C-alpha cells in the first residue's frame, strides 16, 4: 500500500476549491442577472423617468412591506391620481388600505434602514414619518394613528422596525381623524438639487409582495 501522496492530495484540494469558487461565481452572476432583469422590467412598468439604476438600488434597499400584517390590507396603483384637499395636486404615493378599517390595528414598519428625518403633524399627511436611507432616498409614511414609543428625529431605524400604527389622521388641524378610510400613504422620493421628486412605489411594493 502506497502512502498518501501529499502532492496529489494538494492538487485534489485545489481542484475542489476551484470548483466551489466557479459555482459561487455562477450563483452570484445568476442572482445579479435576475436582479437586473427584475429592475429593468419594473423600470419599464414604472415608466415615469425612474432610471434602471434607481430601481436596482431600491430593490436592494427595500427589505420588507411597509405594513407588518400584509394579509390585512390591500393596495392599487393610485399614483398620479387627482387630489383636491389642500389645492389641486396629484397623488404622490400609494394608499395601503386596512381591510377592517380599524384605526390603530396594523403596524407600520420601515421598509429600509435609515434615519428619521421628519416626524410630526402635517395638515395633509396627519401624523407622518420620513426616513432617509443612507443612499439618499426618502420614504414617507403618512396618516399614522400613533407613533412607536420614543420615535424621534435623528434616530436610526432598521428595516422592519415599527414606526407606529396605521390610522386616518390628517386633512385638518392637529389631531383631525376620520376624513377618509384608515390607510397608510406610502411615498418614495429621490433626492435632487431642489426639492425631492416622487417616484411611483407601486411596482416595488408588488415586487415585495
Query: Which residues of this protein are in contact with Zn ion, per CB under 5 A?
Result: 95, 185
Smallest distance, Zn ion to C-beta of residue 176, A: 15
Alpha carbon distance 161, 107 (integer Å): 10
- Report the residue number, 62 or 96, with the smaller CB distance to Zn ion: 96
39 or 94: whose CB is closer to Zn ion? 94
The set of residues, in sequence order, having a beta carbon less than 8 Å from that of 168 and lying 6+ positions away, is 103, 126, 143, 145, 177, 178, 179, 180, 181, 182, 183
Q: At what angle do helices 52-61 and 6-46 cross, to 10 degrees?
A: 110
Give the shortest CB-93-to-Zn ion separation in angstroms. Answer: 5
Quick one: 150 exposed, middle or buried, by C-beta within 10 A (0-12, 13-18, 19+)?
Answer: exposed
Q: Which is nearer to Zn ion, 133 or 198 (CB)?
A: 198
DSSP state of 136: S
Shortest distance in whole angstroms from residue 60 CB to Zn ion: 25
- Which residue has the CB atom at the shortest distance from Zn ion? 185
Least distance between Zn ion and beta carbon 141 (Å): 11
Q: Which is nearer to Zn ion, 54 or 168 (CB)?
A: 168
What's the rounded Cα separation, in Å, for the pair 128 and 124? 9
Residue 77, classified by CB atoms within 10 Å of its CB into exposed (0-12), middle (13-18) or buried (19+), is middle
CB of 207 to Zn ion, least distance (A): 20
Decide whether 81 or 158 has the Cβ nearer to Zn ion: 81
Cα 187 from chain centre: 9
Amino acid at each position: 500500500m502506497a502512502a498518501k501522496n501529499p502532492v496529489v492530495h494538494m492538487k485534489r484540494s485545489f481542484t475542489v476549491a476551484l470548483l466551489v469558487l466557479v459555482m459561487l461565481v455562477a450563483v452570484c452572476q445568476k442572482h445579479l442577472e435576475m436582479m437586473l432583469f427584475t429592475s429593468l422590467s419594473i423600470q419599464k412598468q414604472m415608466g415615469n423617468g425612474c432610471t434602471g439604476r434607481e430601481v436596482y438600488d431600491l430593490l436592494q434597499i427595500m427589505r420588507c412591506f411597509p405594513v407588518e400584517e400584509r394579509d390585512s390590507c390591500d393596495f392599487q396603483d393610485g399614483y398620479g391620481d387627482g387630489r383636491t384637499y389642500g389645492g389641486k395636486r396629484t397623488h404622490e404615493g400609494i394608499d395601503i388600505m386596512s381591510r377592517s378599517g380599524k384605526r390603530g390595528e396594523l403596524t407600520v414598519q420601515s421598509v429600509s434602514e435609515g434615519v428619521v428625518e421628519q416626524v410630526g403633524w402635517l395638515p395633509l399627511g396627519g401624523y407622518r414619518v420620513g426616513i432617509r436611507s443612507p443612499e439618499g432616498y426618502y420614504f414617507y409614511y403618512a396618516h399614522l394613528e400613533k407613533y412607536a414609543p420614543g420615535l424621534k428625529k435623528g434616530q436610526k431605524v432598521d428595516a422592519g422596525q415599527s414606526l407606529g400604527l396605521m390610522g386616518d389622521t390628517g386633512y385638518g388641524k392637529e389631531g383631525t381623524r376620520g376624513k377618509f378610510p384608515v390607510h397608510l400613504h406610502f411615498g418614495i422620493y429621490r433626492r435632487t438639487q431642489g426639492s425631492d421628486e416622487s417616484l411611483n412605489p407601486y411596482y416595488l411594493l408588488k415586487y415585495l409582495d
